[in-house]
């Protein structure tokens, strides 16, 4: 969005092949809008550098052109300060990944015979472990959220319990339709990335929090436009979307963290998702089950959580499946 008093920046005129590639991501791979926009930003940056520096279009770039672009990108990032080195490596790796995908597409469509990125090695990245919370900190947040007992309090407890019980992405949680909850309120069906559906069970505390919240849910709908907001589990009186926004939920969590005396820099919807995965694995859940509940396409994405655990817990995750045993023993 342009700043007040300034005209919006014109969108650069990119190669038609970039647009075709982005369309392919959406139609064939089911890429979300945010994913498409991220690829557009990366390819637009590379396109403009190659056009302005080499007087070429990105379609015709050679390996040396790509290397010069990545080197320039790395140098610009590092001039901002030594603390930005890790950011520079991540940015270069992401841009190179986007370019690889683009050129593989061009080869598959017979636009090019070669992939100029095929001989370029990705920069090595240090492992960045996800932030998480302890079980006692999560308990403190939930307890503090429920202390007032009013409609706002019951909604916040429900949000926390459902997020901690399911590990939903924040967009999936706030945009959850009523139709996603099964009739008994024990499961929810999520349409995740790429419209892939997954079924996630609700814990007993989450079920109780949902029941308590549903009794006061109408207080969050208001009078105007109530029919349009009825479809959402977490409607909002003020949001254009009709449901609670990600930004509002994140702010509610920051306020709650201060009240619960938990470091607010370590509290966010995404960190609660990390806590869900880490605590499940710590208590014996198998990696494949956690992968399915999180909606990860690749199990290696889920495996990063094992690096937060101690060696004993890692061994349990890798060698045993206690969650299945517990389920069969009930």
10-residue mean pLDDT profile of the chain (330 residues): values are 44 89 89 88 95 94 94 71 58 91 95 94 66 88 94 95 87 91 85 73 92 91 68 88 91 94 89 84 74 72 60 44 38
Angle in degrees, 0-180, between the axes of helices 151-166 and 135-145, rounded to the nearest 10: 160
**pLDDT, position 130:** 59
Owning domain of residue 186? 135-329
C-alpha separations of 66 from 14, 38, 79, 118, 186 in Å: 17, 19, 20, 11, 52
286 and 152 belong to one structural domain: yes
Given a contact cutoff of 8 angstroms between Cβ atoms, the answer to whether 160 and 142 are in contact is yes
**pLDDT, position 27:** 87
The catalytic residue among 169, 217, 243, 282 is 169
98 and 151 belong to one structural domain: no
| 11 within some domain | no
Given a contact cutoff of 8 angstroms between Cβ atoms, the answer to whether 247 and 224 are in contact is no
Residue 296 is among the residues annotated as catalytic for this protein = yes
29 and 102 belong to one structural domain: yes
The catalytic residue among 95, 154, 155, 273 is 273
Residue 274 is among the residues annotated as catalytic for this protein = no
21-24: long-range contacts, CB 8 A cutoff, minimum separation 24: 21/101, 21/102, 21/105, 21/106, 24/105
Domain termination residue (choose one: 108, 126, 151): 108
**pLDDT, position 252:** 94
139 and 103 belong to one structural domain: no
Residue 193 is among the residues annotated as catalytic for this protein = yes
| 89 within some domain | yes
26 and 102 belong to one structural domain: yes
Residue 213 is among the residues annotated as catalytic for this protein = no
Angle in degrees, 0-180, between the axes of helices 135-145 and 269-282, rounded to the nearest 10: 130
234 and 162 belong to one structural domain: yes
| 200 within some domain | yes
Residue 169 is among the residues annotated as catalytic for this protein = yes
The catalytic residue among 229, 274, 282, 296 is 296
| 120 within some domain | no
The catalytic residue among 68, 131, 193, 248 is 193
203 and 241 belong to one structural domain: yes
CATH at residue 162: 1.10.443.10
Strand partners for 187: 201
40 CB neighbour count, 10 Å cutoff: 20
| 9 within some domain | no
Q: How far apart are CA 322 and CA 286, in angstroms?
A: 7
**pLDDT, position 304:** 63
Residue 270 is among the residues annotated as catalytic for this protein = yes
80 and 216 belong to one structural domain: no
76 and 196 belong to one structural domain: no
158 and 297 belong to one structural domain: yes
Domain termination residue (choose one: 68, 90, 108): 108
Structure token pair of residue 198: 């997954």
141 and 75 belong to one structural domain: no
The catalytic residue among 56, 104, 270, 314 is 270
Sign of torsion over alpha carbons 221, 293, 165, 129: negative
| 173 within some domain | yes
| 2 within some domain | no
| 51 within some domain | yes
How many domains does the chain divide into?
2
84 and 147 belong to one structural domain: no
């Amino acid at each position: 969005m342009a700043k007040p008093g300034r005209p919006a920046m014109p969108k650069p005129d990119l190669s038609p092949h970039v647009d075709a590639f982005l369309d392919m991501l959406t139609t064939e791979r089911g890429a979300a809008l945010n994913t498409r926009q991220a690829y557009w930003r990366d390819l637009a940056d590379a396109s403009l550098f190659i056009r302005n520096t080499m007087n070429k279009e990105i379609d015709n770039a050679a390996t040396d052109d790509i290397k010069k672009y990545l080197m320039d990108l790395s140098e610009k990032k590092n001039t901002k300060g030594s603390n930005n080195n890790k950011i520079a490596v991540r940015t270069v790796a992401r841009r190179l990944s986007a370019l690889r995908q683009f050129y593989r597409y061009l080869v598959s469509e017979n636009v090019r015979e070669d992939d100029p990125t095929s001989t370029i090695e990705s920069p090595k990245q240090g492992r960045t472990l996800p932030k998480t919370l302890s079980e006692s900190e999560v308990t403190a947040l939930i307890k503090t959220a429920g202390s007032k007992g009013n409609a706002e309090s019951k909604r916040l407890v429900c949000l926390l319990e459902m997020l901690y019980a399911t590990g939903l992405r924040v967009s999936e949680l706030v945009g959850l339709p009523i139709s996603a909850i099964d009739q008994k309120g024990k499961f929810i069906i999520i349409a995740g990335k790429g419209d892939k559906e997954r079924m996630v069970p609700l814990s007993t505390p989450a079920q109780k929090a949902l029941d308590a919240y549903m009794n006061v849910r109408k207080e969050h709908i208001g009078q105007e436009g109530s029919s349009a907001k009825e479809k959402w589990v977490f409607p909002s009186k003020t949001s254009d979307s009709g449901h609670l926004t990600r930004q509002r939920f994140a702010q509610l969590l920051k306020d709650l963290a201060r009240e619960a005396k938990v470091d607010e820099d370590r509290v966010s919807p995404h960190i609660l998702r990390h806590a869900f995965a880490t605590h499940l694995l710590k208590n014996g859940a198998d990696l494949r089950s956690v992968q399915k509940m999180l909606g990860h396409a690749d199990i290696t994405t889920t495996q990063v959580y094992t690096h937060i655990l101690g060696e004993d817990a890692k061994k349990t995750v890798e060698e045993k499946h206690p969650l299945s045993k517990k389920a069969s023993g009930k």
